[in-house]
Chains A and B, each alone.
Chain A
Amino acid sequence: MLYILRLKNLTSIRILIVLLLGLGMLFVFMPELTTKLANMVGFGRGADLILYLLVIFNLYYFVYTLGEQNRLLKMVTLAAREIAILKAQAGEGESLAEKGQGGDDGPEGRWYHGAA
């Protein structure tokens, strides 16, 4: 359900922000407009309408951010995993390499970091 609300590209997010800002400014300069709108949807006061909208927006933003955070964490994890594997395969056995014990080992070209 939240996927529908997920804005895929940055441009649409920017347009949304500008629209929301514009709406906010409109409400500041014409407070009676919020009351009218609130009455239309059945709330008593314009301030209530704003509050409810704010709550909904905040919840959406919270969930969206969590999702983004998970997505980024996954990307970071994949990158870190490759770094770990590539560094090991490159024979970067720091401590033992210094002692001259690292590097390839055995006829199959298999590498160990430790003294085999």
Chain B
Amino acid sequence: MSILPKHIFVIVPSYNEGTVIGKILEELVTQEVRVVVVDDGSADETAEIALGYPVYVLKHPFNLGQGAALQTGMTFALRQPDCRYLVTFDADGQHDPQDIFRLVDALEKSNVEVALGTRFGDEARLSGIRKSRYWVLKLATWLTKLLTRLEVSDTHNGVRAFTAPAARRIHLTQNRMSHASEILAQISKLKMTYMEVPVTVRYTPYSMQKGQSIWNAIDIVWDTLVGGLK
């Protein structure tokens, strides 16, 4: 079965990305995909700018966090009758739109349920990463591997692809950044088949500033431990 490109839904969670969202949407709308922008209650013009492109725009009435925005996009996409693949994609311009097809191809060819982008698959593809960030990411990866027992090399990469049936089984409840670990935890718990695909991460001054710091790492550990209290 060949891929009918418009069956790929690209979910772009965005929060106060007004300065860059237009640029990334310009790149995305040239691809044969459907784009779902989830504006997570931005205070700036993010949603208004996105409305200028042929994309679906969903707007949270208030800020809930990136995990919540991703789940909103996934829930919406799964309600569309022609949705077969879901790809998550960060709004800050750090990803390459071509990687969407690398991931979906991997799903098709390898018959796995989830394809995870990794920036460590091929060290040469890392452009401009800071030393401290490299080690924070390595540490996060090591911790997540320990907790989920998945063999992954990059746990906090924003590009991931799911088949629709797989995405339907995933329910993100961690609203903030911990969703990255939560996705992996659910892949592990639900015994989903997965593979890693090397992707490009473009480190621009903007994405560096928006990216995760050591403080986020502490938040993620807190959310993972305390967020489960019911």
Q: Which of A74, A85, A87, A114 is within 8 Å of B75, CB to CB?
A: A85
Tally A residues with Cβ within 8 Å of B: 27
User: Which chain B positions have C-beta within 8 A of A84?
Assistant: 38, 58-61, 72, 76
Q: Is B64 an interface residue (CB 8 A)?
A: yes
Query: Interface-forming stretch among A12-20, A27-35, A47-55, A75-83?
Result: A75-83
Q: Which of A66, A71, A114, A115 is within 8 Å of B226, CB to CB?
A: A66
Asked if residues B55 and A71 are in contact (CB atoms below 8 Å), the reply is no
Q: Is B227 an interface residue (CB 8 A)?
A: yes
Asked if residues B54 and A114 are in contact (CB atoms below 8 Å), the reply is yes
User: Which chain A positions have C-beta within 8 A of B230?
Assistant: 3, 67, 70-71
With A67-B230, A80-B61 known as contacts, the answer to whether A73 contacts B175 (CB < 8 A) is yes
User: Which chain A positions have C-beta within 8 A of B227?
Assistant: 70
Chain B nearest CB: distance from A36 CB in Å? 37
With A67-B230, A70-B230, A81-B71 known as contacts, the answer to whether A112 contacts B54 (CB < 8 A) is yes
Asked if residues A115 and B52 are in contact (CB atoms below 8 Å), the reply is yes
Contact with B along A72-114 (1 / 0, CB 8 A): 0110110011011101100001111000000000000000111
A-B contact count (CB 8 A): 78
Q: Provide the main secondary structure of the chain A interface.
A: helix
Q: Is B229 an interface residue (CB 8 A)?
A: yes
29 A-B pairs in the complex with CB atoms less than 8 angstroms apart: A2-B229, A3-B230, A63-B229, A66-B229, A67-B230, A70-B227, A70-B229, A70-B230, A71-B230, A77-B68, A77-B175, A80-B68, A81-B60, A81-B71, A81-B72, A83-B61, A84-B38, A84-B59, A84-B60, A85-B72, A87-B59, A88-B57, A93-B57, A94-B51, A96-B52, A112-B55, A113-B51, A113-B56, A114-B57
A interface, CB within 8 angstroms of B: 2-3, 63, 66-67, 70-71, 73-74, 76-77, 80-81, 83-85, 87-88, 93-96, 112-116
Starting from the known contacts A81-B72, A113-B51, A114-B54, 11 additional A-B residue pairs (CB-CB under 8 Å) come to: A66-B226, A66-B229, A71-B230, A77-B175, A80-B64, A80-B68, A88-B58, A88-B59, A95-B48, A95-B51, A114-B52
